Structure 1
Amino acid sequence: MTFTLEQLRGFVAVADELHFGRAAARLQMTQPPLSRQIQKLERAIGAQLLERDNRRVTLTTAGEVFLGEARRLLTLAESAPELARRVSSGAAGVVRIGFTAASAYGVLGELLNELARALPEVDLELAEMVTREQVAGLLNEEVDLGLARPPFDEQTFGSRLLHREALLVAAPLGHRLLTLGRPAVAADLAAEPVIMHSPVKAKYFYDLVAGVVPIAAEHAVHTVSQVLTMLWLVAAGRGVAFVPESAARLPIEGVGFVRLETPVPQPVELHLLWARHSKNPALWRALAALGRPDTED
């Protein structure tokens, strides 16, 4: 089945006017070629669309059904070039965002709101991933933008610091650490059972904590990768945990927090991350909207 847009336009004009002469004038053509267009269209789809005689033109039942589809096809055909131009310029399209679970505790929502205001016709798709999964996803073009922890390969990825926050110790309510009246230091934690970050799946936090508080192997009672899981284990009295300050927003009953003394007051970093080789125009528009460079250089 093959038909042309010109044939569809001819059919719609005749269906609207119910008169070949008026339809031909509307299309700025003569009546005989318009009649041939309709005949070719009917042969192509294998159905009679119009009843015509010397006095009038009417739509067949098949014609009435086909008219709606013809209008839809013409609308798509007319809007497709503009859509292509908007996607090419980045004004429309999709930006797929990978994010760590911890980044969703405040930063992610603000970021999405900012992008939605600046680029309302760009769809934002979300995928929860740890940093190493985001790096792989960016390289494989499965995501366009990441909210990830450093370090990154600067030759492959562009990045900008998005957020910085303190490191806290989460402890069960009533725990002595919560009554210190000052930030906790390594000596305060020497004998505490610890729910530790996975050195593989949460390497950034593992290295950050290990650089501040030496944790003896026998004191690491659990090793997990998600902050929320840590807090549930703390609430159950399994030990203390080291979490970013934003985690204190989570309403986990039975858990309190105390700041951990660190060489840098706010050592936990979250970065925007993107592949420098990305060919998605919407990504570069998103970065521009967020006040980041809109070119690959």
Structure 2
Amino acid sequence: MFDLGHVRSFVAVAEEMHFGRAAARLNLSQSPLSRQIQALEQSLGVTLLERTTRAVRLTPVGRTFLAEAYRVLAAAEGAAQITRRAAQGESGLVRLGFTAASAFRALPRLVAQVRATLPDIDLVLEEMVSEEQMQALNGKRIDFALLRPSPALLSEDGPIATALLLRERLVLAVPSGRPLASARQLGIQALDGQALVTWSPRGGRYFVELLDRLFEAAKVRPRIVQRVNQAHTMLALVGAGLGVALLPESVRSIRMTGVVLRPIRLPASAQPELMLAWHRDNENPCLPTVRDAALGHARSSVAVP
């Protein structure tokens, strides 16, 4: 098998057609250069150069090998660049878990930011509920998770690190034609006694606990008529006239017939948060660069006025 250094020496001689000039270009003396060319010819079992006291010429086989030598050197340099970029976290594979609700706003923004700033990083996306994402993070089956905060997630002593990615308002989804759909101002008291479509504890425990705290503090008692896991299902049930629903403002990206989304005055504590989470011991070299790209973009949009 030939040596890449010998191939570079051959290319220098073939381009200069002179051992002296090629040796100077390579910072070698002529004798070592000549030995490298001889070693290359021996390894290939062919004669690449015709040498006389006055000139150096490529043999027909040498001309063929020169074209291949350019390809070999280009491939080697390309492999070196790819390896360096991978070591610097600028190329590679990143696995990202996300909740269905995060796909409305946070996920598209994150993906767009990573693609714009780190085009050589491939993102593999997998939809999971928050509990599944925590298990996948702990098992290092994913590199990042987009999930809602929880006491276990926010533990400073735990293996999972987090950063706030998004904070948003809640909006009230109302069947069109109902009085609440055209009310001038809405507050939490407007929900007292209202039929409410809300989250299932299995898929939306964070929202269940957030709304329970909100209703208890305001002494408001809506009538829960249905619990589901997905925001688009809640909107469909609201459109069918089953009741109203409190949802993150990012659901405005969903167009649902028969549904009006209204702003509602709520305490600041009623703004749902979305976290970017990763395992502290994850050795993927892409993790810091992707994290910085995601959080750098998020800093301008975390606070909701």
Q: TM-score range by the shorter chain?
A: 0.7 to 0.9
Which residue matches 1:253? 257
Q: How many pairs are equivalent?
A: 282
- CA distance in 1 between counterparts of 2:65 and 2:8 reads 14
Which residue matches 2:144? 145
TM-score scaled to structure 2, two decimals? 0.71
Which amino acid in the other structure matches residue 3 of structure 2? T
Which residue matches 1:165? 168
- CA distance in 1 between counterparts of 2:79 and 2:94 reads 25
Which amino acid in the other structure matches residue 130 of structure 1? V
Which residue matches 2:202? 200
- CA distance in 1 between counterparts of 2:81 and 2:253 reads 45
Which residue matches 1:241? 245
- CA distance in 2 between counterparts of 1:120 and 1:265 reads 35
Which amino acid in the other structure matches residue 38 of structure 1? I
Which amino acid in the other structure matches residue 5 of structure 1? L
SS in 2 for 1:125: strand
- Over the aligned positions, Cα root-mean-square deviation in angstroms equals 3.8
Which amino acid in the other structure matches residue 270 of structure 1? L
- CA distance in 2 between counterparts of 1:205 and 1:49 reads 76
Q: Is the 8 A contact 2:176 2:258 kept in 1?
A: yes
Q: Is the 8 A contact 1:9 1:74 kept in 2?
A: no
TM-score scaled to structure 1, two decimals? 0.73
SS in 1 for 2:121: strand
CA apart distance, 1:204: 1.6
Comparing 69-78 with 107-116, greater Cα deviation is found at 107-116
Comparing 126-135 with 6-15, greater Cα deviation is found at 126-135
Q: Is the 8 A contact 2:186 2:264 kept in 1?
A: yes
Which residues of 2 match residues 29-44 of structure 1 at below 5 A?
29-44=28-43
1:18 aligns with 2:12: no
SS in 2 for 1:202: helix
Q: Which runs of 5+ in 1 are unaligned?
A: 293-297
SS in 1 for 2:251: helix
- CA distance in 1 between counterparts of 2:17 and 2:241 reads 80
- CA distance in 1 between counterparts of 2:10 and 2:230 reads 61
Q: Is the 8 A contact 2:173 2:238 kept in 1?
A: yes
- CA distance in 1 between counterparts of 2:108 and 2:205 reads 25
SS in 1 for 2:273: strand
Which amino acid in the other structure matches residue 131 of structure 1? S
Q: Is the 8 A contact 2:191 2:222 kept in 1?
A: no
1:132 aligns with 2:136: no
- CA deviations on 1:41-98 (whole Å, 9 max, x unpaired) are 3454x464725253522453641441232221442466467546x61xx566665543
- CA distance in 1 between counterparts of 2:169 and 2:16 reads 71
- CA distance in 2 between counterparts of 1:257 and 1:97 reads 30
Which amino acid in the other structure matches residue 208 of structure 1? L
